Structure 1
Amino acid sequence: MAADPAADRAVRELYRALLEGWDAGDAQAVAAPFAGDGELIGFDGSRYCGREQIAAAMADALAAQPRPTFVAKVRGVRLPGPDTAVLQAVAGLVPPGGSDLVPERNARHTLVAVRSGGDWRIVLFQQTPARFQGRPELREGLSEELRELLRPSYDDQ
């Protein structure tokens, strides 16, 4: 946990809002947590700069295909400075109508946020494919970790 619990919660909320925007098919909601000059680097390496460009790119992506939904786990938030945070997460995608992950789409997410005027905003979000070339046991381990989030727990009943 970060040394500043309020900052930790705020940065996790930015990440949750971004993923929920995607899952809802709402490009404006995806872009909303970003700073005006924030950047998003997509799974394929595409780079989008600025909230407006991010929203436009997400509108195209969300309209072009049925969208899978995210399952994600935050691994941690660290604060390298009082107004800077780095969130590390892992994520997978469940295809529309599906009940399992597509392991080839697993990713590591890195989110960098800054606090300005008391508000936290994303300045960089990057998705990196978690392919683990030549190490299938790592890919399967990550898939199993994410699948645990798909399984109902006794707390959910």
Structure 2
Amino acid sequence: MTEQQISALWDRMSEGWAAGDAQAFASVFDPDVEFVTVRGDEHHGREAVAASHAALFTSVYAGTLLKPEVRLVRALAEGIYLVHAVTTVYPAGITTHAQAIVRRGGHAGWSIVAFHNMIPGGSR
């Protein structure tokens, strides 16, 4: 069940992306998330993630889809999980790899507390 619940975070993220809704996209992140973009930009907090993605959704990424695939879920401690996920942006064909820390608990249920995204060298 844990893997399904964690995968559901990426599904919600992709639904927000498809809708061009930065708040919905960012809703899976902890209010205090540490987020590193594919360009190495650092965003501190869910609102900063939402703001950066609002700008993306009005750029060349408007109308695109994000297809996620969670490839690894590993328990690190009670309620703390390491996650590796690969996502592809369609129709751009850009594939990203993310490493994240997901936490279960609190008033929000599941949330991503740390996220580092990158584009592998061969995916550009």
- TM-score, normalisation: structure 1: 0.68
Structure with the bigger RCO (C-alpha within 8 Å, sep 6+) is: 2
Q: 1:79 deviation in Å?
A: 0.9
**Distance in 1 between residues matched to 2:31 and 2:61, nearest whole Å:** 28
Give me the CA root mean square deviation: 1.9
Q: 1:65 deviation in Å?
A: 3.0
Code of the aligned partner of 2:65: T
The answer on whether the counterparts of 2:88 and 2:96 sit within 8 Å (CA) in structure 1 is yes
Tell me the equivalent position of 1:69: 65
Instruction: Looking at secondary structure, tell me which structure has more strand per residue.
Output: 2
The answer on whether the counterparts of 1:106 and 1:131 sit within 8 Å (CA) in structure 2 is no
The answer on whether the counterparts of 1:15 and 1:111 sit within 8 Å (CA) in structure 2 is no
1:129 aligns with 2:124: no
Q: 1:36 deviation in Å?
A: 0.9
Tell me the equivalent position of 1:17: 12
Where 2:40 maps in the other structure, the secondary structure is coil
Given candidates 105, 110, 117, the residue that maps to 1:116 is 105
Q: Deviation digits for residues 100-151 of structure 1, max 9, x if unmatched?
A: x63xx2221222111233711111122111224xxxxxx6xxxxxxxxxxxx
Instruction: Looking at secondary structure, tell me which structure has more helix per residue.
Output: 1
Code of the aligned partner of 1:48: H
* Gaps in structure 2 of 5+ consecutive residues: none
* Gaps in structure 1 of 5+ consecutive residues: 96-100, 133-138, 140-157
Aligned length: 121
Give the number of the structure whose alpha-carbon radius of gyration is greater.
Answer: 1
Tell me the equivalent position of 1:32: 27
1:78 aligns with 2:44: no
Code of the aligned partner of 1:86: L
